[in-house]
Structures are given as structure tokens and as C-alpha cells.
Amino acid sequence: MFRRDLIPWCDPLEAFAPLRDSPYALLLYSPDARWSYICANPVSVVTADVASDARHLDEIRAMTRRLGFERPSDAPPFCGGWAGLLSYEYGRALLPNLDSGPEREGWPDIALGLYPEVIAFDHIQQRAEYWRWSWGDTGKPSLRDMISLQAHAPLPPRLTHHAPRTTIARPEYEQSIARTVAYIHAGDCFQANISQRFDFDLEGAAHPYDLMRRLSGNSPAPFSAYFRLPHHALVSNSPERFLKVHVTPDGVHKVTTQPIKGTRPRGQAPDEDKRLAEELVTSEKDRAENLMIVDLMRNDLSRVSRPGSVKVPKLNALESYANVHHLVSTVTSELEEGRDALDVIQAAFPGGSITGAPKIRAMQIIAELEQEARGPYCGSLVWMSPDGNMESSILIRTVAMARQQDDRWTGHFRSGGGIVSDSVPSEEYQETLDKASAVIRALMEDNMPEPMDIAFKGSAQTASPEVSVRDRAFLLGDGCFETLRLSGGSIEGLDEHIALLRRSLSVLGINGIPQDETLRQALQQLAKRITGEAALRLTVSRGAGGRGADATSSEPLTVLSATPLSDTRPYAPMSVITASIRRNETSPLSQIKSTSYGDNLAARRQATEAGADESLMLNMAGRPACFAMGNLFLVTADGVWVTPPEEEGVRPGYMRASILLRLQQDGAPYEIRPVDYAELLQPGAQLFGANSLWGLRAVASLDGHLLAQTHQET
């Protein structure tokens, strides 16, 4: 029935790159959640340029019933089935009193493929699984052979040199808002979602997938996606769930929808950001706007749900993203017996948060005022397993692109908001710009639009990150640092690294650097300038001034820097030799990351000169303390994890603490105790290095002795 293989872990965003022009290839990318998916090579595609009824859903239901599918108990949520696009206009085929709407621009109303091949990426376990079901032969190479395990090519410096063009002038857009308010006052509707369109052209060899990579790096979202059609490409940076259906072991179909209504931009400073968030949470207008859509979604779900099962566990909860704050509510229900995920789509599509209420009249007003087909915008990307599980997004923050005859790409996106009785046209116009800012910035900004360094002298940021030739870290190693990894748009262990830095500063007696929140904001600002993986370094020097031990006249210098990384986890197992250079466990510097780092560098140099990857460093007592560039973990033949204590000359790094916490949570046996060198070479023993960049890295050999290589994860 199916084949299931583990494949080497890699970033799904990079793995998908070779498929970017493969028709019906789909990437569902959620690096901050648990699962991402790659689908390609569908055995069947259900598509219609202009749909007139629900027959396509009936066709999918009939085909699904003929499939052989029995979910393994440990399978990911999606391991094969239907996936693809429902454009906004498909809703016109599902609802009464609506004509076919404006002329389409090449985007089908529906395009759902049946995918027997899926790669599921578990971001928590750092595990990738290839699934292949026996639903027919695609006649193409295996999906696992088509993906890439290497880092993708660098992005072009800019995707377009010309700002996206609105297709409607500001006065006309504000007039359409005023007309909508008039409709509301006349009793036609309570709310309608009105949007404006932005057009653009990609530069030269720039590709839609470049935009996907840049958006995912700059402003990661829970429902990021890339979908390639024969002549079109879709890039979505959506934060909004439409419908989720989870089938419980006893066969109950539980439905969740999470409409977003209410938006404020993120602030430039922490105080401003907090004020904007509080303003949104207390806004009567935004809360009422959200409540209207909650009532609409309750009504839609009640059409196919068990009586009394529709609930609202969360109302107007604040969620914050890279560029905006949102109010998000959660509505749940249980389907009536005999109903399935396709019934929920038919009852609720398109989502009420992007139409308004009542839905049909709101859609009529939208068609009158926008006068263009929305296409993918405000439609949905969806996956459905044959056993009834489903997940789908609302396609906001979504870009639609078309390939021209000269192979250039043109594109457009829309941005809008819910209009209610007290909406102010000028404020609604500004809200569309706030929501569009992430896409516009991703299109317009150079890869590195600002210096890749940020510096503070004392607690004040400086205009230039220059280091004096009399700087004490440069002359004397009088400073400390932390190295952090930027992955999937987020900084791993940010607060923990800042706490470790504070510990190092306390040991060195350095005071007067910026507050933790200032450092946090600066690192996040630095991270936003980078697309892809990067090493971030936070370095503090006592500063320039004084002579020798006299440092009374110095002012601390703090430098934040970034280096893009081309390598991905997991790193290849490494060969290790034992260095002749020892760790001095009696020195307080052995337990911090000092800029007096010469011993570690010399130990690593010994490994390089011996043709090895890394060095093991013993302490003065002759016991293993650490690697030149990371902490040490031994896994005994009995499966017990062992790491030396700090008193052995060990620096308590972030990754070491993370692994120990994970072991504790999993109930796995572990010990923090001194380790003898002979233990490392015991039969069945495994050895690992750990640091913020590697994660957990296996040791293949130690001083020419091959080590066991069976343990894959903590």
C-alpha cells in the first residue's frame, strides 16, 4: 500500500528549489510550527477555469473512496492525498444568487491534485520522511530524487526596481470605502471586505521562488506556501487558518477555524509596539469587526455540525507577527455523522473573514466595487487526507504571478480590510499599506540593504560599528561573546544566549552595556535583513581606554554581527583528534565564552593540520572536557547520556542546556559527571558535539578509532 523512508534532514525551503518550475509542485512551509510538506507528481488533477457548481468536490469524494488508505498510527498529519488551490471565485459556484463573476486572468477556480508522494518535515524532531502510496504511476522520477539537500543559490540583489503600482488611485479607493459604509448604513450588510490591487514586474532572471525565500526569511508566517501551475506561480505568506478538520481515533471529525480581524502595525520601539498592541486589544471597532465574522463562521459551521457542538474557545486573542499585530478568534465544532471535510468547504467557502456578513450580499458588493476577479487572493490552499483530515489557509498576504512569452514574470497582490459602519476611509487605506508592507519590502529591498553590523558604545547605539585600535578585546582579549543561529526567520535561544552573556560579563566585571530588551530588539532587527540561515554574533568588549590592568577610563563596546550560512543541519559526522592543549578547569574563563579564545583556536588548528575536523580538549586532570568548538556528550552502550560538569572546565552552552532539558522532558537517562577518556572508546559508545550552529553533531572517529553511529536524535 505505501512506502515510507527516512531521508536526511534539510530545510524544506532549500529542498524544494529544484521543483520550483514543476507543474503542480506544492510547498507548504511552516518552520515555526511542527510540519512542512513538499508534494509533486500528482496522478490526477481536478481543475476548472470557471466552475458553475460543486461537481468537482463530488468528483474528488468519489475518487477518494476508491483509494486504499489506512493511516499508520505514527504518520504525520498529511502523508498523501489531495492538495491545491481553491480560488476566491470558486465560492461563487457554491453559493446561491451569485453569477460567475468577473472575467478570470488565467487562474483556475479550482486546481486540486492527488499526490501519492509527499515529503513530511518535522521541525521539532528535525526528521524528514518520504511517503509513497500505490495510487498509480506518475511516470516521473521519484520525488525524493528530485529534491535538493544542498543550499540554494544566492538571491538576486533586488526582485524589482520599480515600486508595485496600485490599479486604483487613493481617492477612488477611499470612495469605495465610503460607498461600502453607505451600504452598511442602508442595511445591506454589517461588514464587507474591500481590497485594492498592486501590480509589479520581476527583474530579469528573478523568479517567483526568490520572493518565496525572501518572504519566508523576512516575515515567517504559519501558512507560507508556494504552488506552481503550468503558467502561473503562487507565493503565500498567510498568517490565517481557514478550516482544519481532525479525525479522532473514535471517528469524530473536529473542526477548527481561526478568523483574523483587527490589525495594527508593529512599533519601531518596544514602548510603541506595546502601545499599538494594547490599542488593538481595546479597540471597540476591531473587536466588533472580529465578533461579526465569528458569528458568521459559527453559522457556516452549524450547517454541517452536530447541534450544540459549535463553540468559541478564544475570542479576540492578540497574535503578533513580524510586521503586524492581529486579533484572532477560534471557533470549533464537531461534524454531523456522515459529513466530511468537503462538506465543510461547501458550507463555509470562501472564508467569512475575507468576505463580510451576510456573506452573499457582501460578495455582491465586493464584485461591484473591485470589478476584477480576485483569483487566488482570499481563496484557500488546502490539503486533505483520504481519511478525512484537512488543513487549509486563507490566501491573504499572497502574490499571484504569471510567466510571459519572453519568460519574464509579472505579478500582482491585493490588500484589504473589513469595512464596518464607523470605518474611516483614510484609515482603511493606510491599513492596506500596513498589510502589504512585507510583500513590498521583499520585492524592493536589496538583500543586504543596511550594514550587517550594529554597535553600541555604552548603552547608546552608534552610527558606525567601528572598533578602536586601542580596544581592550583586540589588545588583551578583555571581552566575551555569544554565537546564535538564525533559522527559518527566528533566532534560536535568544533569551538564553543573552542570559549567558550576562553571566560572562559578571565574571569579567564589565558593566554598562544596553538592556536585555534593547539587545533583543537589535538582534531581531539584524535578523530581518537576512534571508536564509545565518550565524549571529553578540560581542562585548570592555572598550578602548586605560593601559594594562587599568581600565577605569574605558566604555564598553557591544557589536552585533551576522554571517550568512550555506550549510544546513544535520552536519556530517566529524573526525576528531585529541589536542595537546588543555582546558584549565581552575580558571573562571573556562566557564564563559571569552574573546581570549586562543587555546580553542590552537586546538582546532591541530585538528586541521592532522586532517581531522575537530579537536577534543582534556582538562588539567586529563579528563575530556569539551571540543574546541562545542560541548561534549557521550552516549553509553546502555543508552545513558553523559556530559561533564562545569567544574571540569566546561562552558555551559545554550545547546548543552537545550539537550539536557529535552532529555529530562523525554524521561531519557542522563548523567552530569566527570568522564574518563577510556569511556569514549568503549564498544557501543557514541560521541556527539553540541553548539548553537551544529545543533547535535555525531563523532565518526576519535584518534583513529571508529565510533558507533546508530543514535540519530536526542
Catalytic residue among 89, 240, 391, 533: 240
Residue 666 to residue 714: CA distance in whole angstroms: 9
Q: How confident is the model at residue 163 (pLDDT cuts 50, 70, 90)?
A: confident
Q: Across residues 397-408, what is the average pLDDT?
A: 94
Q: Across residues 616-644, what is the average pLDDT?
A: 97
Catalytic residue among 14, 117, 129, 261: 261
C-alpha cell at 138: 506518475
Q: How confident is the model at residue 551 (pLDDT cuts 50, 70, 90)?
A: low
- Please tell me which residue, 279 or 205, carries the higher pLDDT value: 279
The predicted pLDDT at position 195 comes to 97
Residue 152 to residue 150: CA distance in whole angstroms: 6
517 flagged as catalytic: no
Q: What are the structural domains of the chain?
A: 2-264+274-444 (3.60.120.10), 453-564 (3.30.470.10), 574-706 (3.20.10.10)
The predicted pLDDT at position 155 comes to 66
Q: What is the DSSP letter of 227?
A: E
Q: Is 205 exposed, middle or buried (0-12, 13-18, 19+ CB in 10 A)?
A: exposed
- Does 495 score more than 70 pLDDT? yes
Q: Across residues 409-433, what is the average pLDDT?
A: 94
Q: 282: Cβ–Cβ under 8 A, 6 or more apart, which residues? A: none
C-alpha cell at 501: 552573556
- Does 616 score more than 80 pLDDT? yes
- The percentage of residues in the chain with a pLDDT greater than 90, rounded to a whole number, is 72
Which DSSP string do the residues of 469-505 spell out, in sequence order?
Answer: TTBHHHHH--EEEEEEEEETTEETTHHHHHHHHHHHH
The predicted pLDDT at position 452 comes to 66
Q: Which residue stretches of 560-616 are H helix?
A: 598-609
- Does 451 score more than 50 pLDDT? no
In order of 168, 433, 490, 620, the CA distances from 438 in angstroms are 20, 9, 16, 54
How does pLDDT run across 320-341, given as a tens digit for each residue? Answer: 887 789 999 999 999 999 999 9
The predicted pLDDT at position 714 comes to 36
Least confident of 123-137, 410-424, 577-591, 646-660: 123-137
Residue 31 to residue 322: CA distance in whole angstroms: 14
- Does 623 score more than 60 pLDDT? yes
Q: Across residues 300-308, what is the average pLDDT?
A: 97
How does pLDDT run across 31-42, given as a tens digit for each residue? Answer: 888 999 999 999
Q: Across residues 532-545, what is the average pLDDT?
A: 88
The predicted pLDDT at position 428 comes to 94
Residue 305 to residue 314: CA distance in whole angstroms: 19
Q: How confident is the model at residue 58 (pLDDT cuts 50, 70, 90)?
A: very high
244 flagged as catalytic: no
- Does 597 score more than 50 pLDDT? yes
What's the whole-number average pLDDT of the chain? 91
The predicted pLDDT at position 475 comes to 87
The predicted pLDDT at position 152 comes to 57
How does pLDDT run across 207-260, given as a tens digit for each residue? Answer: 999 999 988 877 788 999 999 999 999 999 999 999 999 999 999 999 999 999
Per DSSP, the three-state class of 393 is strand
How does pLDDT run across 351-377, given as a tens digit for each residue? Answer: 999 999 999 999 999 999 998 999 999
The sign of the CA dihedral 39, 44, 49, 52 is: negative
The predicted pLDDT at position 448 comes to 39
Q: How confident is the model at residue 161 (pLDDT cuts 50, 70, 90)?
A: confident
The predicted pLDDT at position 712 comes to 43
